[in-house]
Amino acid sequence: MQTKKIPLDITKATTSRLAEVDFDNLVFGKYYTDHMMVCDYENGKWNTPKIMPYGPLSVEPSCKAFHYGQAIFEGMKAFKDENGKVWLFRPEENFNRANISCKRMAMPEFPKEYFFEALETLLKLDEAWIKAGDGNSLYIRPFVIATENGVSASPSSAYKFMIICCPAKAYYSSPVKVTIAQKYSRSADGGVGYAKAAGNYGASFYPTNLAKEKGYQQVIWTDASTHQYLEEAGTMNVFFRINNTLITAPTSDRILDGITRKSLIKLAQDQGLQVEIRRITVSELVDAAKNGSLKEMFGAGTAATIAPIEGFEYNGDYYELPEVKDAYSQYLKKSLQDIQYNRAEDKFGWRYEIQLDK
C-alpha cells in the first residue's frame, strides 16, 4: 500500500516518561507514550497534522462533542518482533472503518495520506514504547471529536482527529462469565451500532454494571426487537462453537464489522474448520448447552484478541461450558498472533511494516 508523503508539523518531547512505566505490571490505558498526533478541521478542510508531546487539550465548555456526542474512535495495535521490526495489523481496515463511522456521525472523512504518514511518524518517534514478546503490544487509539463551540443542535463545523498510544499486555487474564441481555440493547436497526461511535460504549456501561452486580463480567447483547438473537459480547464480536461448527452473527447496521472477527473467520476457513455466518437464537444456545454440543464461546476484538467465555446466565439459570482440549479459541488466537508478531507466514498480506529509521 503506497500513500503520498505529506509534510508534518513535528515538535518532539524534551524528555521521555518511558522510565516511569512498569512494563511487568501494566494497567491497560494508564500510561501514554511521549507523543500524540493532532489534526484540526477548520473552514471546510483538514489542516497539516501535528505531532507533539502528549498532553491535555484546551476546549470550551460549549464544545459540541460534550453536548451532541459527535465522537468516534478506532482501536489498533503495533507489534514488535524478535528482530526489532514493528508491524501493524490490517491498518487500512481501521482507516476505512474510521471514515465509515465519521460519515454516519455527519463528520468529515480523514485523508488517507494524512492518516498513514502521521501514524508512521508517531510510531517511529515512540518506537521504544513498543516491547517485543508474546502479549506485548502498543495499543493505538485514533479518534475524532467535534470542537465547534455552540449548543445549537447541528453538526459541528470544526473537529480534531487525534492519535494517542499506550503500551498494553493481555486484556483479560482469565475466562469471563457473561449474562444474556433480555431488557437493554446495545444498538437497533437504523442506528449507529456498526459505527465505532463513542456513545455506543457509554450506553452499554449501565447494563454492564448491573451484570457485574450479579457476578458477571460482561453482557451478551441480543437484538433490540425481540432479544432472541445473539449479536455481540460486551465490546466485542462473539463466536459460538457447537460441536465442530464455529458460528458468528452476520454484520449489519447493529453489529460492528470487527477486524479481528473477519480475520478469525478467514483463518478458520483456511484451516478447513466449519464456519457458519448466520443468526443464532438464545434458545439454540441454551439447547446446545443442555445437550452438551456447546463446546466454546469467545469474544473477539482488538484489545483482547480472543476472550474465552466460561459460562453464561439466562433466565436465572447458569450454564457452564466444558473444558475442551482442542479449543478453537486458543488455536485461532495463536494463529492470529503468530502473524501479528511476524512468527508465521502472512499469506493474506495483513502485516504492515513500519520502516524504522535505523
Cell numbers of 245, please?
461448527
Instruction: Give tens-digit pLDDT for 211-241.
Output: 999 999 999 999 999 999 999 999 999 999 9
CA-CA distance, 125 to 122, in Å (whole number)? 5
Residues 92 and 165 in one domain: yes
CA-CA distance, 157 to 126, in Å (whole number)? 32
Please give the pLDDT value at position 308.
95
Domain end position, chosen among 169, 189, 212:
169
Residues 115 and 206 in one domain: no
Instruction: Give tens-digit pLDDT for 26-62.
Output: 999 999 999 999 999 999 999 999 999 999 999 999 9
Please give the pLDDT value at position 2.
58
Express as a percent the part of the chain with pLDDT over 70: 98
CATH code, domain carrying 303? 3.20.10.10
pLDDT surpassing 70 at residue 351: yes
Domain with 247, as residue range(s), is 176-340
∠ CA 167-169-171, nearest 5°, is: 115
Residue in this structure with the C-alpha cell 445549537, named with its chain if needed: 152
Residues 17 and 159 in one domain: yes
Q: Are 82 and 150 in contact (CB under 8 A)?
A: no
Residues 54 and 144 in one domain: yes
pLDDT surpassing 70 at residue 177: yes
Mean per-residue pLDDT, 112-134: 97
Whether 83 maps to a domain, the answer reads: yes
What would the DSSP string read from start to end of 13-30?
-SS--GGG--GGG--TTT
Residues 115 and 150 in one domain: yes
Residues 161 and 189 in one domain: no
Please state the φ and ψ torsions of residue 125, each to the nearest 5 degrees. Answer: -65, -40
Whether 299 maps to a domain, the answer reads: yes
Instruction: Give tens-digit pLDDT for 62-109.
Output: 999 999 999 999 999 999 999 999 999 999 999 999 999 999 999 999
Whether 347 maps to a domain, the answer reads: no
Please give the pLDDT value at position 3.
65
Mean per-residue pLDDT, 133-153: 97
Whether 349 maps to a domain, the answer reads: no
pTM: 0.96
Whether 350 maps to a domain, the answer reads: no
Where helices occur in 28-183 by DSSP H, the ranges are 64-68, 91-104, 112-125
Mean per-residue pLDDT, 256-275: 97
